[in-house]
Structure 1
Amino acid sequence: MGLRLKPTQRQRRLGHELRKLREAAGMGAAEACERAGLNKPHLSHIEAGRTACPEPRLRALLSAYGCSDTTLTKALIELTNATGKGWWRAYRDTVDDRGQDLAELESTTTAYRAFDWLHVPGLLQTPAYMRALFTKENPGDDGDLDAYAGFRLRRQRVLTERPAPTFEAVIHEAAFHMGFVDRETMLGQLDHLVELARLPQVSIRLLPFRCAAYPATPGSPFTIHDASAPELSTVYVEQPNTPLFLCDPWHVEHFAADFARISGISLEPLDPGAAGEQSSLGLIQHLRYVL
């Protein structure tokens, strides 16, 4: 079997985690190969995600590294046994590798924590809103727009399919004043957020301009994707050119702390039945009049 020229995020992540376990065990590549019955080039390719690691070989490596965490072991086995041939493959001619990797990551996410100051998070967008966004970012024919919108709409089904993950979002008020969306589209988006807040697993907070403390928000929108094994949690950072998948524990801890801090100074979660000037619903009602 030839080596992969373009490993997916899942394949790279599996190799990254195996290397971390080896290094945590204080084991060099030569010793690991001797214990697991591999040669050094093969192990190097596994750790780089360039070649597969069948379950028996994975178990041999985990045993050599002294990994006794059953939750982590189960999650790594699921990574190595995954085929990557999910619904997102139908969009491979339209959506780039990063988009494909994101959809695959979302298929295993157990909980989301998202912050955005520029847009409404993608999983919460209406079709009209996303089409306005795509038109500004990627001018092209309607066929492209339909494909991009269809891909994002399909991604949104993770919020309602069972078992549905929890989704916590903090959206800065600035996101509702961006000029790429007309008033009618934005009003529809605000109504959509109120409806989504009725889902028991969805929590949406708004961070107003007049917050009680200096927000010191991160420079880029981000989403923390929690995994069944905490070690496999990932931060997805949106950037103008190439989005980032960050998986080192200190990255996850840093962004988790940022999210907790921002949540703490935001308005109370959006509750369709609880109005009030100092609530997220109150801010949405205000935005309906000032936009």
Structure 2
Amino acid sequence: MPLRRDPTLRQRRLGAEMRKMREQAGLGGSQLARALGLNPTQVTQMETGKIGVSAERLRTVAAACDCKNAPLVDALADMATERGKGWWEEYRGKLATDFLEVAEVEGHASGLYTCTTTYIPGLLQTSAYASAVFSRATPLPTQQDIGLRTEFRMKRHQILHTQGVPYQAFIHEAALRMQFGGPRILAEQLGALIEASEAPSITIRVMSFDTDTFPGSSENLTFAEGVTPELDTVQMDVAHAVQFFDSPAHLSSYRSVFARLDAAALPEDKSREFIRSIMKEIEGRYA
């Protein structure tokens, strides 16, 4: 079987979960290789996503590691049999891998939570707002790049509007007031937020400047729920990159962050009123 040159995030995650399974069993790579009748290099290649793993092999690994977590094993076996390519793959080679991996995480999520402090969450952005955000990037992208990135971001919206994945966004007041593209584009974006908040699968909560604390990172965060809690993923946007976290310690920490956000943010109805008040204030600047 030829080695994969660039395993996808999903393929790497499957391998990482197999490694966790082995480590929790207290087995070294050589020990697992002997139990499976493989050489240690093959175990390393499986755990880094360089080679594929069948559902049968996955279950054999789980048995060798004495893993009793049946829901997790079943979910990993399903991952091992995935063959279809996501819509984002048509952009491979056209956009940076970070863009594709964000869409890949969203595409396999059973629920999504976001927390943003500097801009409206990507899944809720209008085309004009998204284009304005991308036009502020450093180094400055070409108009063609801005158009491609905006098109990709708009396609990501299908996870909410077509597939109806439950989505909860915690948006800081600073993000509601940041004028990417000017007041008209912001007012249009705020109107779109209000409309989106009426959808049954979308919840929008605001963290106002009056909140006495801000529980969580100053970076923009996404928590993607997997089929089982062990397969949850945290995505953090940092300067010029996207980082993903899936260790039990990180997942526990960020579950706590979102629980605290839930306790501190304005209720849905008050959040909607708050966004509407800012929209009217912005509209007054160009009336």
Measured against the shorter chain, the TM-score band is over 0.9
- The TM-score, its normalising length taken from structure 2, stands at 0.92
| 1:166 maps onto 2:181 in alignment | no
| 1:120 maps onto 2:111 in alignment | no
Number of equivalences:
281
Runs of 4+ aligned structure 1 residues displaced above 3 Å come to 138-142
Give, in angstroms, the shift of residue 3 of structure 1: 2.3
Hey, what does 2:28 align to over in structure 1? 28
Rounded to whole Å, the distance in 1 between the matches of 2:136 and 2:62 is 48
* Unmatched tracts of structure 1, length 5 or more: 272-278
Percent identity of equivalent pairs: 32
Q: Which one is further off, 114-123 or 43-52?
A: 43-52
Hey, what does 1:244 align to over in structure 2? 243
Hey, what does 1:152 align to over in structure 2? 153
Rounded to whole Å, the distance in 2 between the matches of 1:257 and 1:286 is 30
Rounded to whole Å, the distance in 2 between the matches of 1:217 and 1:69 is 31
Rounded to whole Å, the distance in 2 between the matches of 1:155 and 1:124 is 10
Which secondary structure state, in structure 2, belongs to the residue aligned with residue 236 of structure 1?
Answer: strand
Rounded to whole Å, the distance in 1 between the matches of 2:181 and 2:209 is 19
Give, in angstroms, the shift of residue 33 of structure 1: 1.6
Amino acid aligned to 1:286 = S
Amino acid aligned to 1:290 = E
Change (3 A) 1:26 1:154: same
Rounded to whole Å, the distance in 1 between the matches of 2:42 and 2:54 is 12
Amino acid aligned to 1:247 = D
Rounded to whole Å, the distance in 1 between the matches of 2:102 and 2:88 is 10
Rounded to whole Å, the distance in 1 between the matches of 2:265 and 2:65 is 44
Hey, what does 2:255 align to over in structure 1? 256
Hey, what does 2:214 align to over in structure 1? 215
Hey, what does 1:62 align to over in structure 2? 62
Which secondary structure state, in structure 2, belongs to the residue aligned with residue 136 of structure 1?
Answer: coil
Contact 1:158–1:165 under 8 Å retained in 2: yes
Rounded to whole Å, the distance in 1 between the matches of 2:186 and 2:74 is 43
Show CA shifts across 1:40-86 (max 9, x none).
11001111222211222212111111223232122112222223621
Contact 1:173–1:209 under 8 Å retained in 2: yes
Rounded to whole Å, the distance in 2 between the matches of 1:23 and 1:30 is 12
| 1:281 maps onto 2:272 in alignment | yes
Contact 1:84–1:104 under 8 Å retained in 2: no
Contact 1:94–1:148 under 8 Å retained in 2: no
Amino acid aligned to 1:31 = Q
| 1:142 maps onto 2:133 in alignment | no
- The TM-score, its normalising length taken from structure 1, stands at 0.91
Amino acid aligned to 1:145 = I
Rounded to whole Å, the distance in 1 between the matches of 2:239 and 2:118 is 12
Contact 1:16–1:48 under 8 Å retained in 2: yes
Hey, what does 1:265 align to over in structure 2? 264
Hey, what does 2:199 align to over in structure 1? 199
Hey, what does 2:109 align to over in structure 1? 109
Contact 1:133–1:180 under 8 Å retained in 2: yes
RMSD: 1.6
Q: Which one is further off, 86-95 or 118-127?
A: 86-95
Hey, what does 1:224 align to over in structure 2? 223
Q: Which one is further off, 221-230 or 52-61?
A: 52-61
Rounded to whole Å, the distance in 1 between the matches of 2:237 and 2:84 is 22
Rounded to whole Å, the distance in 1 between the matches of 2:234 and 2:116 is 13
Rounded to whole Å, the distance in 2 between the matches of 1:145 and 1:233 is 31
Contact 2:111–2:167 under 8 Å retained in 1: yes
Hey, what does 2:85 align to over in structure 1? 85
* Unmatched tracts of structure 2, length 5 or more: 283-287
Show CA shifts across 1:100-150 (max 9, x none).
122122111001111000011100101111011111116344332221111
Which secondary structure state, in structure 1, belongs to the residue aligned with residue 241 of structure 2?
Answer: coil
Give, in angstroms, the shift of residue 195 of structure 1: 1.0
Amino acid aligned to 1:132 = A
Show CA shifts across 1:14-59 (max 9, x none).
1111111111112222221222221111001111222211222212
Rounded to whole Å, the distance in 2 between the matches of 1:70 and 1:195 is 41
Which secondary structure state, in structure 2, belongs to the residue aligned with residue 137 of structure 1?
Answer: coil
